[in-house]
């Protein structure tokens, strides 16, 4: 494990300019957008003098770089600012409950995607050369060709409107029937990708020389699969886990909008379209920071599970 | 190199007379055409693009009203001989709108995939991989910045902030003869989608092509070409590019589907194509709510069907291309 600490420090230092650029670009974009946050906040029913006074008190009349430095100063001290649309409410007070909703919504699809995708990928790879492998691939291609915004109305039409099996759409907590369709859509969106990655990785490992050696020395096929092929091919899943976590972070947006679930994806979308500066700055920054940290953790995990990979 | 080999294997099964060399492009084409699923996918894609390109003559020939001709007396009419797919809330002919939605998809996928997927991504990858040095680090840092934020977040952020500004700028051109009417038809919002999608989509292509370029650069024939005095551009275009062009074809095919999907998502969010121009995303948005879906399911299912069939065809074609080019993971 030598070299881990300098590696981590180097990566964290390299993240600083990236975060600076992301935050500056997001901030500038927000200010560049048409529409005035004070008008949004006051609902347009206030005299121009009053609007000007509010602008002054919020510091919106200062040059944009000054506003940026002031915002970042507060951000680094853990103060994410205030929502413009919902008067007087702290950003952190708004986003953490919504993140909790999204986390609950995504946890089941996350595990289901792997529970279905991994065995399916393994099966498909082992059945290579027979009809099952191309059949599974075709079904997966079909499932992943249907966009989320098409799945949602299709399922609502069949299960809610025609069969009347599921009474409501919306958010009633994780232990209610209305969560079944959102979970279904989110799972469909990700398990096909998992299965495909597992299949390709398995097939690549199956072509290696040591697999031939294992067969040649008389090991049973099941032993070769479980001890030699699986172990070496599931490494790619570590990468996929982080990727799917983040596709869930942003990807549940359509599901939240389509089913009327008050999660973080929908909040982000509404914050951006409603010019809620502080709110979407906070969301972008939290997203970018966790993305960079997650990738760092991933690189460290790689060196632990595969000793051939060294810190570079 | 593996690519070359795979194609030769494919080719040897075909009926090419011995002794006559067949170009790799032809081999690739033959190998694809022999796969029945790939052939069906290709035929649907060609059909879709033909309809999109010929949208105007086709609707005229069928005697359909224009995609924005409203007829409020005929709001949400059922399918009939006159309106085979029915009419929407404003009484506009749904078949005409589906045909013009295909045109929207054709335009946006062509311009985005050809510039972002073909020129910008691979172009930067080639240069970064071959030149190395400060240019390489600059491009890679930029890629890191773009990919350090979830893609959907960037796309929405850009579409919601730059989008309206760009549209305002473009609106100043409405009076210009020739260009003005086209912009008014909604091509301006296509340009916005294009800018937004290109901003995030170049990174993947750049990284892949850069890695391949690094590998090809280390070969002896590139060294020989450089020793013979070939300049940067000559080496890139004559020696490196031909060796990785299949991967670029694969990437562009994949990006056609991805761009079509992204347009549907953006338009669904109201950030893409502006009304009255039809696109599959806006048509889904207009007809997906439970109440409308209950009474007028065809208004949602018909456009959704054509859009999904296109996305599926791109998926199947991409898979078949992958199969042809990567013999190691082939279905056999």
| CATH classification at residue A145 | 1.10.3720.10
| Residue A157, in any domain of the structure | yes
Distance in angstroms (rounded) separating the CA atoms of residues B143 and B141 = 5
Is residue A43 left, alpha or beta, with left meaning phi > 0 and alpha meaning psi from -120 to 50? Answer: left
Nearest CA in chain A to B323: A134
Q: Are the C-beta atoms of A280 and A40 separated by less than 8 Å? A: no
Contacts of residue B156 in chain A, CB cutoff 8 Å? Answer: 268-269, 272
Per-residue pLDDT of chain B (332 residues; tens, 9 = 90+): 444 444 444 444 444 455 566 666 777 788 888 888 889 999 999 999 999 888 888 888 887 777 777 777 777 777 777 777 777 777 788 888 888 889 888 988 888 877 777 788 888 888 888 888 888 888 888 888 887 777 777 888 888 777 777 777 777 777 777 666 666 666 667 777 788 888 887 888 888 888 888 888 888 888 888 888 888 888 888 888 887 877 787 778 778 888 888 888 888 888 777 777 888 888 888 888 777 888 888 888 888 899 999 999 998 888 888 777 766 666 65
Closest C-alpha to A72, from A297, A312, A284, A298? A284
Distance in angstroms (rounded) separating the CA atoms of residues A201 and A237 = 9
Nearest CA in chain A to B289: A153
What pLDDT, in 10s, does the model give residues A175-234? Answer: 777 788 888 888 887 888 888 888 888 888 888 888 888 888 888 888 888 888 888 777
What pLDDT, in 10s, does the model give residues A87-142? Answer: 778 888 888 888 888 888 888 888 888 899 889 988 998 888 888 888 888 888 88
Closest C-alpha to A249, from A279, A281, A196, A291? A291
Nearest CA in chain B to A20: B145
Q: Are the C-beta atoms of A107 and A188 separated by less than 8 Å? A: no
- Residue in A149, A207, A273 nearest the CB of B328: A207
Asked if B315's CB is within 8 angstroms of A161's CB, the reply is: no
Distance in angstroms (rounded) separating the CA atoms of residues B17 and B8 = 13
State the residue range of the domain holding A258. Answer: 92-305
Contacts of residue B302 in chain A, CB cutoff 8 Å? Answer: none
When scoring A99, A136, A144, A250 by the number of chain B Cβ atoms within 10 A, the one with the most, hence best to mutate, is A250
Distance in angstroms (rounded) separating the CA atoms of residues B284 and B222 = 51
- Smallest CA–CA distance, residue A212 to chain B, in Å, is 15
Contacts of residue A201 in chain B, CB cutoff 8 Å? Answer: none
- The ipTM (two decimal places) reads 0.81
| Residue A50, in any domain of the structure | no
* Average of per-residue pLDDT across A56-66: 79
- Residue in B161, B268, B308 nearest the CB of A30: B161
State how many domains chain A has.
Answer: 1
Contacts 24+ apart (CB under 8 A), A168-177: A169/A259, A169/A260, A169/B290, A170/A259, A170/A260, A170/A261, A171/A101, A171/A259, A171/A260, A171/A261, A171/A262, A171/A263, A173/A104, A174/A104, A174/A105, A174/A108
| Residue A18, in any domain of the structure | no
Distance in angstroms (rounded) separating the CA atoms of residues A152 and B83 = 27
Q: How many CB pairs under 8 A join A and B?
A: 137
Closest C-alpha to A147, from A253, A231, A246, A268? A253
Q: Are the C-beta atoms of B91 and B75 separated by less than 8 Å? A: yes
Distance in angstroms (rounded) separating the CA atoms of residues B193 and A223 = 52
Nearest CA in chain A to B296: A157
CATH fold for the domain made of B24-74+83-325: MetI-like fold (1.10.3720)
Kindly report the pTM of this predicted structure.
0.82
The pair of structure tokens assigned to A149 is 């915004």
Q: For chain B, what are the domain ranges? A: 24-74+83-325
């Amino acid at each position: 494990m030598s070299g881990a600490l300098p590696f981590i420090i180097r990566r964290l230092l390299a993240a600083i300019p990236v975060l600076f650029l992301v935050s500056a670009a997001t901030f500038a974009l927000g200010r560049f957008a048409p529409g005035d946050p004070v008008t949004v906040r006051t609902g347009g029913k206030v005299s121009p003098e009053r609007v000007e006074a509010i602008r002054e008190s919020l510091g919106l009349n200062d040059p944009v770089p000054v506003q940026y430095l002031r915002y970042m100063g507060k951000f680094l001290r853990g103060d994410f600012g205030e929502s413009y649309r919902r008067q007087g409410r702290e950003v952190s007070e708004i986003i953490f409950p919504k993140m909790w909703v999204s986390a609950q919504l995504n946890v089941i699809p996350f595990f289901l995607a792997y529970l279905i995708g991994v065995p399916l990928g393994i099966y498909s790879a082992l059945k290579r050369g027979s009809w099952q492998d191309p059949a599974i691939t075709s079904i997966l291609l079909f499932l992943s060709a249907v966009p989320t915004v098409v799945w949602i109305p299709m399922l609502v039409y069949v299960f809610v409107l025609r069969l009347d099996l599921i009474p409501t759409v919306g958010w009633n907590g994780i232990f209610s029937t209305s969560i079944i369709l959102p979970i279904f859509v989110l799972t469909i969106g990700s398990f096909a990708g998992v299965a495909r990655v597992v299949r390709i990785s398995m097939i690549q490992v199956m072509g290696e020389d040591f697999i031939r050696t294992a067969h040649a020395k008389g090991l049973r096929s099941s032993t070769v699969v479980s001890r030699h092929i699986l172990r070496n091919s599931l490494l790619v899943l570590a990468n996929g886990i982080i990727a799917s976590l983040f596709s869930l972070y942003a990807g549940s947006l359509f599901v939240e909008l389509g089913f009327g679930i008050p999660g973080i994806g929908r909040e982000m979308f509404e914050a951006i379209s409603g010019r809620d500066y502080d709110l979407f700055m906070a969301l972008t920054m939290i997203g970018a920071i966790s993305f960079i940290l997650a990738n760092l953790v991933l690189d460290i995990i790689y060196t632990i599970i595969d000793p051939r990979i060294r810190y570079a | 190199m593996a690519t070359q080999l795979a194609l030769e294997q494919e080719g040897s099964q075909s009926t090419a007379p011995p002794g006559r060399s067949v170009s790799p492009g032809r081999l690739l084409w033959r190998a694809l055409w022999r796969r029945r699923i790939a052939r069906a996918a290709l035929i649907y894609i060609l059909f879709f693009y033909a309809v999109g390109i010929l949208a105007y003559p086709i609707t005229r020939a069928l005697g359909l009203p224009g995609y924005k001709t409203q007829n409020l007396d005929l709001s949400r009419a059922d399918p009939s001989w006159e309106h085979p797919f029915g009419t929407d809330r404003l009484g506009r002919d749904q078949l005409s709108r589906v045909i013009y939605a295909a045109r929207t998809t054709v335009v946006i996928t062509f311009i985005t995939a050809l510039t972002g997927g073909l020129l910008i991504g691979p172009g930067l990858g080639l240069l970064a991989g071959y030149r190395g040095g400060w240019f390489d680090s600059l491009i890679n840092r930029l890629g890191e910045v773009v990919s350090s934020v979830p893609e959907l977040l960037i796309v929405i952020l850009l579409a919601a902030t730059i989008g309206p500004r760009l549209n305002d700028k473009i609106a100043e051109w409405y009076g210009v003869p020739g260009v003005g009417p086209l912009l008014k038809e909604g091509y301006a919002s296509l340009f916005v989608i294009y800018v937004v999608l290109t901003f995030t989509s170049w990174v993947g292509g750049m990284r892949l092509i850069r890695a391949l370029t690094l590998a090809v650069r280390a070969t002896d024939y590139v060294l020989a070409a450089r020793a013979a005095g070939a300049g940067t551009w000559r080496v890139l275009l004559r020696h490196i590019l031909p060796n990785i062009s299949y991967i670029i074809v694969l990437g562009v095919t994949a990006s056609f589907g991805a761009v079509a999907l992204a347009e549907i998502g953006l338009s669904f969010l109201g950030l893409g194509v502006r009304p009255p121009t039809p696109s599959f995303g806006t048509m889904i948005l207009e007809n997906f709510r439970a109440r409308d879906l209950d009474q007028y399911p065809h208004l949602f299912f018909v456009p959704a069907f054509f859009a999904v069939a296109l996305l599926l065809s791109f998926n199947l074609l991409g898979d078949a291309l992958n199969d042809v080019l990567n013999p190691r993971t082939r279905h056999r």
